[in-house]
Amino acid sequence: MQKQPFRLSPYQVQWLLVVGFSTVGYALYLRYFAIEFSQFALACDAGLPSMLCKIRLLATYLFKHSVFGIAALIIAVLHLIRPSIVTLTGGLIAAGFGIVLYNIVPSGLAIGLMILGFARPAPATA
């Protein structure tokens, strides 16, 4: 008996489009309005008590330690081993943040591994 390859339903594709565009959009917002915008960066460094400054601090810590890229790689390997919509969504979120927030190499590799997950058979259902 031959297993069918991993395929997405139209609703799952729409879900991934919404999640992907939202993730990349928010990452672009963080990068260009919170991290690289010099006036806001100076205000945050001077002690501005806002939620965006705390998110900026967290995001800079995470991308300095390549957390986005490493998380995307780990989730992509899990997706390659056992493809599912959950691992694909998590990998897409981590890779989207990683591509925009300076973890380009591991996030790019993760995207390639997630694409290879479509060549794998879907897990058997009972």
Query: Side chain identity at 22, as an amino acid letter?
Result: S
102-85-106 Cα angle (round to 5): 20
Tokens 């810590």 map to which residue? 61
Angle between helices 67-81 and 85-100 (to 10 degrees): 150
Structure token pair of residue 11:
């609703």
Overall average pLDDT of the 40-51 stretch: 89
Task: Categorize the per-residue pLDDT at 8 as very low, low, confident or very high, splitting at 50, 70 and 90.
Answer: confident
8-state DSSP, 50: -
The pLDDT of residue 121 is 65
Angle between helices 67-81 and 104-116 (to 10 degrees): 10
pLDDT tens digit string along 52-102?
999 999 999 998 999 999 999 999 999 988 888 999 999 999 999 999 998
Instruction: List residues bridging with 5 in a β-sheet.
Output: 121
The pLDDT mean for the chain works out to 89
In this structure, of 3-12, 22-31, 39-48, the range with the lowest mean pLDDT score is 3-12
CB neighbour list of residue 78: distance below 8 Å, 6 or more residues apart: 87
Overall average pLDDT of the 6-31 stretch: 93
The pLDDT of residue 69 is 92
